[in-house]
Chains A and B, each alone.
Chain A
Amino acid sequence: MGLSLTKAAQWTTASSGTGKLEFTPMNESLLKEILRFVERFSSQHPQEAEHVFEEPLQWRTTLVASDFKTDYDISDSAVQSHEKDSEGLPLLQLSPPAVYVRSFSQLSKLVHLADGKKLEEVRACLEVYVKKRIMFRKVTMNESVVLFCFAFLRFHCRKVSLDPAAAKNEVELLKQLCSDGEKRVLKSLRYTSEFEFSNGCRTPLWRQVHGEICYLVIEPCDAETLYITYSTAGVFLNEVRLGRRESGYERTSDVYADLVTLLKSRSPHFQDFAAQELPSTHKIQHVESVDGEEQGQPQRSYEQQEKNVHEKAKQQHTVNKAGGRNKNEMCPRWSSFALLSTFGYVTIPLVRCVLKYCHTASYCCVICSFSFRKTSAGAMPGELTSESSTESEEEEEQPERRLEGDIDRLPEYWQIQKLFRYLKAGNQTTTALTLCAMMDLNLMQETCQLIIRDLGGLEILLNLLDTIEVRCKIGSLKILRKISHNVQISRTIVYTSGLQKIVTILDLPDKDLKALAAETIANVARFRRARRTVRKLNGIKKLVKLLDCVPNLAKLTENQEKDVEVARCGVLALWSCSKSRKNKEAIRKAGGIPLLGRLLKSPHANMLIPVVGTLQECASEESCRIAIQTKGMIKDLVKNLRSDNEELQMHCASAIFKCAEEEQTRDLVRKYKGLQQLVSLLGKADNKQLLAAATGAIWKCSISTENVAEFQKYNVLQTLVGLLTYQPDEVLVNVVGALGEFAQIPANKATIGKCGGIKPLVNLLTGTDQALLVNVTKAVGACATDKDNMTIIQQLDGVRLVWSLLKNPSPDVQSSAAWALCPCIENAKDAGEMVRSLVGGLTLILYLLKSTNNEVLASICAAITKIARDEDNLAVITDLGVIPLLTKLTDTTLPRVSCRACSIHYCCMWGSNRESFGKVGAVAPLVRFLKSKDAAVHLSTAKALYQLSWDPNNVIIMHATKVVKVSLSVVAAAFLTH
């Protein structure tokens, strides 16, 4: 919440123990502030100034009797003031060199008299008290007064400030008025939420940031139901209805100082009641409020707060008594209190009341310990929240980054705080100058960023965006642009509706402003909610509008240059936004893709990188891919692969990687000679990101066989095989994927084997990355169709490795592994023996027949087909119960039925399986397969039926299902088509 002046002031004590204030600029300015405060205190707070201290402030002064004028009794060197307390003792007494002062008014006067020496006097006074405390660890009454003086120093937030306790008190009070019968004043009063956070608020966390404490629903007797927000700034009506809260937070009435005032204005009945009854209730409530000024509304809320403090203080008091804690231990913590108050947590009335109560020492301790309770128990009041309204941020629920350690020791802290004070008070010229001064701070440093946030600076900066003064807006945005690199700041900007203001600026005609706003959005839109907010505010459309410029003119005028800069910032923002799926679509709908296409002609890398980056993000949506392709951007993407900027090359390759899902794009890449370019990028093996993108593009492009042929002109296979080792997974996935595609052509399989690709591939089977495993098994499977390769795979025990991947939790890996097993089993030497040697392997296969994933089922059936070719294995799986499992599958009407029929065909070749299939009812569904339109299904089904028909019972079933008729039509169809 703040920091202590005792800490801030740089004492020499640590080293020398003398308790002197060092002569540093910071001390100097602190002293000046204290001095200014003292000087003005009696005029600004006359009542408090008259308060007589129990013990005098006392220090060695340099003043002599002759310095004192009228109002003082002067005798020799001693001086006494005319002003006396009730017991007739003078309020100021000088007996050189000591001076005793017993009220603030006297202190003020003395300081005025001291004239040129006033700074020395204040310094001497402070030194005495700090020294004393250091020596005795003991606080006297005066110290509290001195510290209060500190507390006052930074009093610049004096808003009406309600807190959760105030809300609670008032609600409790009003609840008593909700009774039945004649005398009731209100029908009902309730919170919208029964859940109370530990800070006493009942609003969601993100509304607590706005200072909202709780929502209330009150039914008056004579008016319609009131929906009320109770916030630190006051009480007002909202639109919250149960069930539609999202939109209902807006204020719909004036802000009132408290609930009673609001109710008075809304319900005449309540007003009547309040006129008669409430004063007495007030009295009870304010029994401890000390001065009788109860006129204005703000006054009342002050008192409310006073009361709360009293209450808390009391509670704390009892706790302390019970705990038997020594008050002297607590007292040094006064400093933190001073600090708490520094930022407006404690308002004047509180101080006023404490001044009255500090006749008793224990009370002081109690209050200071209360204040300390709010800070962390350590050595330092660590949090820096600016006002009580943001108290919620202190709560632990928010995993917020907080400043740690003695930030008050940092010169930046005071500097920034001062500058924000100037910002609040300045006219346009001084505000702009102050903003300039702020720009000279190290805004990229996290400490500065967090100090700005914690001092409430973001709000001030964002508010400046509402002024009409362009220079202030520019200055503010220049700062926001930098500090928004910090995610915490970005979040705060979004949660406090700052993004709205920034997005609105995009509509203004001033180009500098547009560019800065877009750049800030680019920084802020790094998390999902921010991106969504930009879209909801129509920001995507506005950003797309910024892109409209001609970037590739030979010579730009100053104005055109600015347009290009605006466009660049716009693209940066779109790039950030394009990471959300809906935003990609929004960019396309707003006509962003063709405009990006135009910017793609720009010769500058700093423009091209965000442009290609955005395109690359968008290309994950099919609609965008088509747009990119049809607007002729592939040509430019390929062209920029030749750039000498690696980042740009990387984004281009990524864009091609994504776009090459489309066949036409793949052809276009070849047409524009992009393949060669991609291959040359493989040489940049040091830049892994680039390598990953390039290999990705090669993979996707190699889906077209023409491209594979083209690639082979540059001996890509050899290079790719070389990349199978010592590369990160991102690269490996793509390399292996490409190998899988290349291996679809028989000649390439041999090449892969010849250049030693099998071994690293098999090694990769032990990996964990699922995407990688899918590709590896695919590649291994493709290579296994080559006999020589298969020999190597078998030597390396590759089949077992593939088989064990069936245990992988990912269905993709399972099915890919099962498909890879098929060629392995088919081409392996002594395949039957090999399969049997894998302990538990067949059980695993049959277990996967229970999978719910279609692709897995199809691949497993295919594998079973291969396994069943070996009689012994067929016997084993029959024993393991393959028949009922397969029969169950014949019921489903799913794709890839041919595999299943096929597996039945092979399973039938053993023993009594034909009868078994008949018994479990597999025949009739098989006949239905014949009605399929797929010739492959016909073939395998016919084979299966042929096998089954060896059993007479099956023939009967077949006859019953009119197999002959169906078969004849199939045969006829087969003849017709061939």
Chain B
Amino acid sequence: MTAAVFFGCTFIAFGPAIALFLFTIAREPLRVIFLIAGAFFWLVSLLLSSLVWFISVQISNKDSAVQQKGLLIFGVVLSVLLQETFPMSHPPDLSGLGFGFMSGAFSVVNILADSVGPGTIGIHGDSQHYFLSSAFMTMAIILLHMFWGVVFFDACEKQQWWAVAAVVISHLVVSCLTFQNPEYVASLVPTYVILFLMGIWAFYSAGGSLRNLKLCLTCKDKDFLLANHRPR
């Protein structure tokens, strides 16, 4: 594996997230603090769920592979549920992005570190697309976390419990889709469909509309221009 694979996968996985960070967060220390707080809450939820998983593994039959896999699936579901119960701080997109960054980092950083070293992927018959699919999956997950955060917070504010349930269920669906790996097509395509739908939903709950979008893209949005001191 080469540096090309490493850089390519890193940029695929973290590109959009870092762009979001640079354009919307980096200038204000307070926003950075919220981002890090989001990351920290994700970490705490991970630690709690891995504690439960660890205990359950210790008391289970270690030789049975089926049981171990079942326990792992249980661990994943528990982890998703715990993540959703953690208090979403305001602003929601930052805590969502914090969740996303941490989740993405934990999923993919070790893989990226391995990709710099020597070796050939899939030499024993495993899929050759391990790195690439990991990178795409990570990108989807990071963006999804942010969208989930926005929708979740908005739904909590407006007390629309069906929306909260929809967020939790879609998170579970995405995680469970990954159980089909290494059938990457079966897991990646639906994930991206869900990403697209959640993105649109988050856009509308954050107050966006087609009209805003048009104004923004043609640089005619007066509020945005005034806020950034740019002439039309």
Binding between chains A and B: no
